[in-house]
């Protein structure tokens, strides 16, 4: 299970890095969704997997139990990641509506200088 999870992390990480390198903003966003999930999986994995045991300690029972801290961390990270990703999706939509492109190479409005002479040259 541990090896399987590690392989999954590796594959997902490489896929998401490839997508993050894309010039298409939408692809970039999907890469971002993936990589934030990869981070959660990493926490889950390195926190130590305990198979088939609940993260709760019942009074009097001293059986094996899973470490609940990584799960709590992942849960927090999922909630935060969900909020950030939904914000970014809306931002991308707004940017697309305002600028008219999802190609980041063409998103250069903020980089332009506002000198009147230069504007004429570029247009």
Partner 1 sequence: MNGLLVACILTPMVTAALSFIVTNTAKVRGAISIGGSILLLALSTILLYQVVNGGPVSNQMGGWQAPMGITLIADMLSAMLIVVTAIVALSVNVYAMGDISEDRIAGGFFTFLNMLIGGVVGAFLTGDLFNLYVWFEVMLISSFALLVLGGNKVQLDGAVKYVAINLISTVLLLTAIGLLYGLTGTLNMADLSIRVPEVENQALVAVVAVLFLVAFGIKAAVFPLYFWLPASYHTLPISVTAVFAALMTKVGIYALMRTFTLIFPGEHSVIDMTLLGLGLVTMVLGVFGAMTHNDIRRILAFHVIGSIGFMLLGLGLGSALAMGAAIFYMVHGILIKALLFMIAGVIGKLGASFELARLGGLYQERPGFAMLFLLAALSLIGIPPLSGFWAKLLIIEAGLHHDATEVIIFVVLVSLLTFIPLIRIWSEAFWKPKPFSTEEAKADTSDSKAIGPPVMPPNWYAWTPVLGLSIIMFLIGFLPSKIIAMSDTAAQSLINPSAYLDTVLPDRAAAQANLNEVQQ
Token pair 């903003």: residue: 25
Query: Among 5, 15, 26, 39, which residue sits at the site for partner 1 (rule: CB under 8 A)?
Result: 39
43 binds partner 1 (CB under 8 A): yes
109 binds partner 1 (CB under 8 A): yes
CA neighbor of 66 nearest in space, from 74, 54, 78, 84: 54
CA neighbor of 40 nearest in space, from 18, 7, 10, 73: 73
Site for partner 1 in 48-87 (CB under 8 A): 48, 69-70, 73, 76-77, 80, 83-84, 87
User: Dihedral of CA 71/72/75/77: which sign?
Assistant: negative
Smaller CB separation from partner 1, 4 or 110: 110
Question: CB–CB of 71/48 below 8 Å?
Answer: no
35 binds partner 1 (CB under 8 A): yes
19 binds partner 1 (CB under 8 A): no
47 Cβ contact list (under 8 Å, min separation 6): 67, 69, 70, 71, 73
- What residues make contact with partner 1 under the rule CB under 8 A? 20, 25, 28, 32, 35-36, 38-40, 42-43, 45-48, 69-70, 73, 76-77, 80, 83-84, 87-88, 91-92, 94-95, 98-99, 104, 107-111, 113-116
């Amino acid at each position: 299970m541990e090896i399987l999870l590690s392989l999954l992390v590796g594959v997902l990480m490489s896929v998401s890095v490839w997508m993050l390198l894309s010039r298409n903003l939408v692809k970039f966003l999907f890469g971002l969704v993936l990589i934030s999930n990869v981070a959660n999986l990493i926490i889950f994995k390195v926190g130590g997997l305990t198979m088939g045991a609940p993260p709760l300690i019942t009074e009097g029972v001293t059986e094996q139990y899973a470490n609940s801290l990584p799960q709590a961390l992942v849960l927090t990270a999922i909630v935060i990641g969900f909020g950030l990703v939904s914000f970014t999706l809306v931002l991308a939509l707004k940017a697309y509506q305002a600028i008219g492109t999802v190609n980041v190479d063409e998103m250069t409005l903020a980089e332009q200088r506002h000198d009147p002479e230069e504007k004429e040259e570029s247009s």
